[in-house]
Amino acid sequence: MKSAIQTLLLSGLAALPVWQVRASEAAPDAGKRAVTEDVGSLVIEPPVLAVEAGHPASFLVTARRLDGFETDVTASVAVGSSDTGKLNPAGAGVVRGIAVGTASLTVRLGNHQTELPVQITAPPSDAPVSFVRDVLPVLGKAGCNAGACHAKADGQNGFRLTVFSFDPKSDYQNIVEGARGRRIFPSDPEESLLLLKATQTVPHEGGVRFERGSDAWRTLTAWIGGGMAYQNKDEPAVAAISVFPQERRYRKGASQRLVVHARYADGSVRDVTALSKFESNDKQIATVSEDGKITVDHLGGQAVVVARFMGMVGDSKVMVPADRPLPEERYQSLPANNFIDTLAWNRFQQLGLFPSEPCTDAEFLRRASLDTLGLLPKPEEVRSFLADTDPEKRVKAIERLLAHPAWADLWATKWADLLRPNPDRVGVKGVYLLDQWLRESFRENKPWNQFVREILLTQGNTHRYGPAVVYRDRREPAELTTMFSQLFLGTRLECAKCHHHPNEKWSQEDFYRLAAYFAPLHPKGGGISAPISGGNETFFVSAVGSLKHPVTGEVMKPQPPDGPQASIKEGEDPRLALADWMLDPENPFFARAMANRIWAQFFGKGIVDPVDDFRLSNPPSNPALMDALAAEFIRLNYDGKALARTILQSRLYQLGSEPNETNTADTRNFSRSYRRRMAAEVMADAVADITQVPTKYPGMPVGSRAMTSWTYKVDSRTMDAFGRPNSSSDCPCERNLAPAIGQALHLMNSDVLQTKLASTEPQARVQRLAAENAAPPEVVAELYLACYGRPPAADELAVAAGRFPADPKDAAGRRQAVEDILWSLINSAEFVFNH
Amino acid sequence: MAVHLNCDGSSRRDFLQLGLGGLVGFGLCDLLRLRAVAAETGKKPVNCIMIWLDGGPSHFETFDPKPDAPSDIRGTFPTVATKVPGVHFSEPVTKLAGVFDKFTVVRSICHRDPNHGGGNHYMMTGAPTPVPVGCGAFVTFHPSMGSMVSYSRGVQGGLPPYMAMPSNTRSGGPNFLGGQHAPFIIPGGPNSEHFRVNDVVLPAGIAEGRVSSRRDLRAALDRMKRGTDKMMEDPAVEFDRFYEQGFDLVSSARAQEAFDISREDAKVRERYGRNDMGQRFLLARRLVEVGVSWVTVNWGGWDHHENIATAYKGDALKTLDQGVSALLTDLDERGLLDSTLVLLLGEFGRTPKINEKGGRDHWPNAMSVLMAGAGIPGGQIVGATDVKGYYASNNVYRPEDFAASIYTKMGIDPRQHLETTAGRPVQLVNDGRLIKELFV
């Protein structure tokens, strides 16, 4: 077998050999290849080790391979120290500080060697073990303060801790003074109930949390024996954590140890790998053990492993490319319509994906009409589009779609899903006004920053100004905070209302500082009361109104998450400062969250998915594309229609849904078009349009479409079956487009469809086609164009036309054929799905 | 509309004290789980018929009369003896008193939410609302029991697992479990000659032969290529599964017969009462008989702030008394009671003191719940209220305990953790204790 380096030399090309070398190997698994083979260089991480005299510290050794992969060789290297009186190797990936000073750490693998100078520092003075600095991390790692155990509302068996230590003082009290002090036995620390339970020396429902003699056990005994300090004087707080390695391309089956460093406010660094909790966001791609070892499975893709330590989070990115990357030329020859394509192809190349073939003209028109307007193209539109020979006809079609008034109703409905309260709770008129306001906003294509600003700065009466009803429904600053952060910042802060966010950096302080912006907003007028709150309220800002932190009782000053404290003038509406921060082009959340929402409408899922859940542990499937899309949205002055145009014009949007050999398993990177079911309103309108029998909705003007309904209470069994959201359900939720048995049963059997098929109104499609003299193939063609947006293929035509009676005078037979063909098409996957 | 005297009684703090904070959690303490559930597995799966009396029925005029209380509390109805010596009900439920050997009454379930919206939510989901909600509210913050059963069992034989007649209850929705676990609604009045169940039977005027011909045509025309590789996550594959089941359902003679209430013996129909509610109870029996897991019969109008005596002398009570006793007897005679849980309740009880309009107002401090079947003993009274019916005073249970007991009967672990749409872990029932008298 040729070595990689030989191949490189022989070919003289950078791109091909990667592919050829890998293709020539019997198995791509890391385990099958000698660890010393094709090493380019060795790297020691972290670049600065945190070694204290008398304590161990972890490090990683990485081999950079010639084929671009990196592998963990920590356990395979020979480790040496320039001065074993100061620094001593102590097992795989561990050195021990012996004495203060400097020494050099050397690692060797085959012919490769590298070294790292190390500073051995004095351990923090003889300060006693601290509850906050030392004990809480141990309890967290052991899972004692998990929500299902002692952090339940009433604790467990009388012993209560706060979730993720959000209230250390109360935790301290419960341990030291709770149960009349019987949890702690200072005169014989090892006999403390706290330790006897955790080691299951006495029965413990939670099992063994750590062993006698373990590091955790020793920390706790030392703390109890040392006088149970709450916190040492001038003890620095944790400022941040770093995870090593930050990012890595893995071979399938490979594994990698992680190291976590905590940096404290005083600049000191501590190795907290053993005290950190780890979690992988995609366990099919990569799993992580409790002590921080990543194992990559046999699936290509990307994942993120998040480490958590005392409210701080850090991540290590995992990328697992395909076994056999395609040659670079394949990607370079792909045409790109705009930046979306360029960035998508880049990502595909990294992951070894290749885009599906472009969709057909008919597929494009149907898909673009459904995504842009929620409408199926009419048969005559399809005919003329297919007949058009202009190479720019897709671009022209996009402009026609964007100019159509249905655009506004589609987007108003999408935002109504998120903002619309239940009329039984807040009253009919306010909800109706909100609906009108939403429709008007999208009719005039209001820039999205202005749209959000108007909601954020709402004042006035619920019977005069649409958005006011949102405040009537979400009456508390905390409720508004939860909702607005999720909708406008794409960040789910809800967890931080009650405790530190479990896998994000958001703390309760962050939550209530944001909530404080809404504290001076007050309602005046009839509150929410039984049974249908017909009254109205006026919202106004006054100088009074502040918000206290629920644990500390501190009055919170308005401050955005990750932003500077707001400077608010006396008597000014603090929400002005909030809007200025949120809608500033520099804001890291808003444009991304909004651009991602628009993207998801056209691709069936977001670059970050779910669309309102941006976080370290849920990164964008294509970070560069997410950034560029947000930048473009800002450049376009938050014009939603303009961004939709960019998306529609991209070649990525115009890919087909059939997979190729590289992208069958891709469900995140958009290398093929993903099938998605029509939404409730779209389905209801489509059935009415295809049959040409409009649905009469109670309480709405004649001719109203499902997409214009202003409340879920407008009676429609079709919309119910297809999952229109119910505004009595609490959460600004995205629609669930999963198929359900009720949908199949509804299309198959409901009187709703059957009545439309059987309609004898002269304008009804079945009535007209049955009464006309058109030849069966023409009838079939019209039905196909109406349902599928394409003409039938020859064999389809033969099957369908074969349904017509041989006797042209058999009117009943002809009618039945038309009904049955239309029924069959409406009940097929090609109709129900947008593809 | 009447004024609701107790409509704004609960503070936010009350809800917090009831344990909202404890909803958060991770599945570490696995040892706690699956005990009672394990005991229920291996038995025939239990289906449930829940009769929901929206508005809140009076415990005084039904299962918890207080004959020794002053007249402004005890009301006008005499008590009647039940099948169990020493136990008395109030006159409006005389027929039920006659079949008391088939059910348990829990007299001591109580909570703190005097609003219809909040009370509905608490009793229907086992979770209090996280914020106070008004009386007009139809809210869901947590999955209903019916939706959870649908989620746990899935679709079998093409039958939607959760059905509601004639409309959904206020908090009967799926919340974060997703729209596919919303109840399948059967509107309309089954007492009418023209009544047909929608969507699960062939549309009017379509003969069976035509259905199979349509089915063949559809198979020939539905040519979109399916992503058979599971990794593709092609939703069309699931869609196909539902169609197969749907076709099985319309071609299953047994299922079709079950939906057709007109095939029921006329005498049986009489026994339930020839009115829409009575016939809904009968239809509910037919539905669970073919395997529907959860049927809710939603019955509104039980909010008697005025003239309660007149109301409880009227048709509603007659319909209820006759229909529910017929249902219990019928299930028992058919050997179905062991595998069918029957629940009769509303969101709360009524105030002890009759108000100046002759009505009773909202009272969550005490309520009576009828529970039968699925191994629940007959002729049993669980708990008690004080002599004037003010407070559950003995063996007191909370809605969490009620929900945990129902889930356990249905073979579902009430302590399991689910994830909300926001990714937050929630316990299905927060620390519910089993009502032990139901598990003897």
CA–CA distance, A74 with A96 (Å, rounded to integer): 16
Amino acid occupying residue A662? T
Q: Percentage of residues in chain A with pLDDT exceeding 70? A: 94
> In terms of Cα–Cα distance, which of A26, A33, A112 is closest to A69?
A33
Report DSSP letters for B252-296, one per residue: -HHHHHHH-GGGS-HHHHHHH-SSHHHHHHHHHHHHHHTT-SEEE
Task: Please give the Cα distance from A727 to A733 (Å, whole number).
Answer: 10
B19 to chain A, any CB pair closer than 8 A? The answer is yes
CB pairs under 8 A between A and B: 276
Contacts (Cβ under 8 Å, ≥6 apart) of A436? A466, A710
- Residues of chain B in contact with residue A143, where contact means CB-CB under 8 angstroms, are 26, 28
CATH of A241-325, one of 2.60.40.10, 1.10.3720.10, 1.10.645.10, 2.170.190.11: 2.60.40.10
Nearest-Cα distance to chain A for B270, in Å, is 29
B1 and A498 within 8 Å at the Cβ level: the answer is no
Nearest to B7 by CA among B280, B297, B347, B296: B347
pLDDT score at B14: 30
The three-class DSSP label of residue B245 is helix
Return the domain boundaries, chain B: 12-189+298-314+336-439, 198-259
B24, B227, B235: residue with CB nearest A163:
B24
Determine contact: B20 vs chain A, CB below 8 A: yes
Q: Is B4 helix (H, G, I), strand (E, B) or coil?
A: coil
Interfacial A residues in 157-186 facing B (CB < 8 Å): 163
The CA distances from residue B72 to B57, B91, B311, in Å, are: 18, 17, 17
Q: How many residues does chain A have?
A: 835
β-bridge partners, A271: A261
Please tell me the distance in Å from B101's CA to the nearest CA on chain A: 38
The yes or no reply on domain B12-189+298-314+336-439 and CATH 3.30.1050 is no
pLDDT score recorded for residue A571: 81
b/e per residue, A402-412, with b = 16+ CB within 10 A? beeebbbbbbb
Query: Which region, left, alpha or beta, applies to residue A349 given φ > 0 means left and ψ of -120 to 50 means alpha?
Result: alpha
For residue B19, give the chain A residue with the closest CA: A153
If DSSP codes are grouped into helix, strand and coil, which group holds residue A833?
A: strand
Whether residue A720 and residue B182 make contact (CB cut-off 8 A), yes or no, is: yes
Are the beta carbons of B140 and A726 separated by less than 8 Å? yes
Question: In this predicted structure, what is the pLDDT of residue A33?
Answer: 63
Cβ distance of A610 and B213 shorter than 8 Å: no
Coil, strand or helix: which one is A759? coil
- For residue A823, give the amino acid letter: W
Query: What DSSP assignment string belongs to A200-248?
Result: TSS--TT--SS-TTSHHHHHHHHHHHTT-BS--TTPPPEEEEEEESSEE
> What's the pLDDT score for residue B291?
92
| Per-residue pLDDT in tens (0 to 9) along chain B, 440 residues | 332 322 222 222 232 233 222 333 323 333 333 444 445 555 679 999 999 999 999 999 999 999 999 999 999 999 999 999 999 999 999 999 999 999 999 999 999 999 998 999 999 999 998 877 777 677 888 999 999 999 999 988 888 999 999 999 999 999 999 888 999 999 999 999 989 999 999 888 888 889 889 999 999 999 999 998 888 899 999 999 999 989 988 888 888 999 999 999 999 999 999 999 999 999 999 999 999 999 999 999 999 999 999 999 999 999 999 999 999 999 999 999 999 999 999 999 999 999 999 999 999 999 999 999 999 999 999 999 999 999 999 999 999 999 999 999 999 999 898 988 777 778 899 889 999 999 98
φ, ψ for residue A679, nearest 5 deg: -75, 165
For residues B159, B162, B168, B172, the Cα torsion angle rounded to the nearest 10 degrees is: -160
| Whole-number Å distance between alpha carbons of A329 and A349 | 10
Q: Strands B294-299 and B162-165, how do they pair?
A: parallel
Residue B231 contacts A, CB cutoff 8 Å: yes
Interface test with A, best of B8, B243, B244 (most A CBs within 10 A): B243
Secondary structure of A158-174 as H, E, C letters: CECCCHHHCCHHHHHHH
Q: Shortest Cα distance from B15 to chain A (angstroms)?
A: 12
Within 8 A of B223 by CB-CB distance, chain A residues are 796, 830
pLDDT value for A638: 98
CA distance A82 to A573: 64
* SS3 of A237-258: CEEEEEEECCEEECCCCCEEEC
**CB contacts, 8 Å: B231 with chain A:** 664-665, 667
pTM score: 0.86
Low-confidence ranges of chain A (pLDDT < 70): 1-33, 125-126, 529-533, 730-734
Non-local (6+) Cβ contacts of A333 within 8 A are none
**Helix (H, G, I), strand (E, B), or coil: what is residue A536?**
coil
Query: Which residue shows structure tokens 């070294």?
Result: A115
For chain A, what are the domain ranges?
131-225, 241-325, 352-404+590-674, 407-582, 680-834
ipTM of the complex: 0.84
Q: Does B208 touch chain A (CB under 8 A)?
A: no
User: Omega of the bond prior to A610 within 30 degrees of 0, cis?
Assistant: yes
> Which residues of chain B are within 8 Å of residue A659 when distances are taken between CB atoms?
227, 229, 232
By the CB < 8 Å criterion, does B120 face chain A? no
The widest CA-to-CA distance across chain A, in whole angstroms, is 107
Among chain A residues, the shortest Cα distance to B3 is held by: A530
**CB-CB under 8 Å, B200 with A486:** no
Are A828 and B221 within 8 A, CB to CB? yes
Find how far residue A247's CA is from the centre of its chain.
19
The two three-digit tokens of residue B245, written as one number: 């089941």
Q: Angle at the Cα of A125 (from A185 to A48), degrees rounded to 5?
A: 115
| CB neighbour list of residue B354: distance below 8 Å, 6 or more residues apart | B72, B73, B75, B308, B360
Taking each helix axis as running N to C, give the angle between helix B208-221 and helix B235-251, from 0 to 180 degrees, rounded to the nearest 10.
160
Residues of A (92-151) whose Cβ lies below 8 Å from B:
143, 146-149, 151
Distance CA A272, CA A268 (A): 12
Cα atoms in the Cβ-side hemisphere of radius 13 Å centred on A395? 7
